């Protein structure tokens, strides 16, 4: 990829995105070749199958496929500069008898074009993460608690699918899959249906989190912000925080875990 986009001699950076950088479809910058931009984003999306640390930036850049600008392409090149210094990174998997658990998080109105937020989740089995995603939400949330609730409500489908796959692999988890969320208000809304003033406008499809909780498939639990692994899938982070979460996801340099 670095050779393809003539970036093999670029200066490396420690994070794929600059902190607090906001991208817009109408940034007023000159447009770039759509084919080249789509090729770059497509290559990055291909890498996300083994690199969760590239998931958010790739998802973000894919929002501008129809009319990319020099700004968008410049951000894509920054991701390549990050890739240069992490080209030999991968997920470390070790033998584990752990149980499946997930982390779900969201940003707050991350898109300045339509004021929608981003949902991110990861699942692990006591070792490196094996399932992750970062996607813009379909609705405009009216509060931070609501955007966290929507994020938590769209993740159980993945948790249930993971549970079924593990059953096929003879790994039966009797207890519910714990889904860690760092917003107590969102957890309260999910557990208590009598929240008329805060939930009457929320689409009924998001109430699946309540049903999965009753059925014993998923259990929504609170975790501190510092422990929220999915934060790396929802926003650009400072270098120290980004590197910490990347390590917690078990994404390491190849030589780091060699025996």
> What pLDDT, on a 0 to 100 scale, did the predictor assign at position 258?
54
Q: Cα separation of 132 and 241, whole Å?
A: 19
CA-based angle 184:187:188, to the nearest 5?
85
**Domain co-membership, 110 together with 223:** yes
Same domain, 82 and 113: no
Same domain, 115 and 242: yes
Q: Please indicate, yes or no, if residue 94 is contained in any of the structural domains.
A: no
Same domain, 4 and 63: yes
**pLDDT of residue 195 exceeding 60:** no
pLDDT value at residue 198: 58
Same domain, 129 and 73: no
Instruction: For residue 77, give the nearest of 56, 61, 63, 97 by alpha carbon.
Output: 61
> pLDDT grade, residue 127 (50/70/90)?
confident
* Mean pLDDT, range 162-174, rounded to an integer: 88
What pLDDT shows up at residue 141? 84
Q: Which residue among 87, 121, 153 closes a domain?
A: 87
The answer as to whether 96 is a domain residue is no
The whole-number pLDDT of residue 238 equals: 95
Tell me the per-residue pLDDT of 137-159, one tens digit each, with 9 for 90 and over. Answer: 988 888 888 889 889 888 998 99
Last residue of a domain, one of 87, 111, 139: 87
Together in a domain, 83 and 106: no
Answer with the one of 87, 111, 142 that is the final residue of a domain. Answer: 87
Could you give the number of structural domains in the chain?
2
Please tell me whether residues 148 and 238 are part of one structural domain: yes
Structural domain that includes position 49: 1-87
pLDDT tens digits along 5-43:
999 999 999 999 998 778 999 888 999 999 999 999 999
- Considering the domain architecture, whether residues 113 and 184 belong to the same structural domain is answered as yes
Which tokens in the block code for residue 247? 């390590």
Residues 135 and 25 in one domain: no
Q: Indicate which CATH number applies to the domain containing 197.
A: 3.30.420.10
| pLDDT tens readout for residues 63-85 | 999 999 999 999 999 999 999 99
């Amino acid at each position: 990829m670095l050779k393809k986009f003539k970036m093999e001699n670029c200066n490396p950076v420690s994070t794929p995105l600059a902190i607090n950088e906001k991208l817009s479809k109408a940034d007023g910058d000159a447009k770039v070749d759509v084919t080249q931009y789509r090729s770059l984003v497509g290559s990055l999306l291909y890498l996300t199958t083994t690199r969760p640390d590239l998931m958010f930036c790739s998802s973000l850049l894919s929002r501008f496929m129809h009319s990319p600008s020099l700004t968008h392409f410049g951000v894509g090149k920054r991701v390549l500069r990050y890739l240069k210094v992490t080209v030999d990174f991968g997920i470390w998997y070790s033998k584990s008898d752990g149980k499946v658990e997930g982390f779900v998080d969201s940003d707050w109105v991350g898109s300045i074009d339509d004021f929608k937020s981003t949902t991110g989740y990861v699942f692990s089995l006591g070792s490196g993460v094996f399932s992750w995603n970062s996607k813009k939400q379909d609705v405009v949330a009216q509060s931070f608690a609501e955007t966290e609730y929507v994020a938590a409500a769209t993740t159980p489908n993945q948790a249930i699918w993971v549970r079924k796959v593990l059953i096929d692999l003879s790994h039966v988890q009797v207890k519910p899959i714990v889904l860690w969320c760092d917003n107590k208000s969102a957890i309260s809304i999910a557990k208590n249906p009598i929240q008329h003033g805060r939930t009457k406008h929320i689409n009924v499809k998001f109430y699946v989190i309540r049903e999965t909780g009753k059925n014993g498939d998923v259990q929504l639990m609170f975790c501190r912000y510092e422990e929220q692994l999915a934060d790396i899938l929802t926003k650009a982070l400072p270098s120290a925080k980004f590197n910490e979460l990347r390590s917690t996801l078990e994404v390491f340099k190849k030589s780091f875990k060699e025996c």
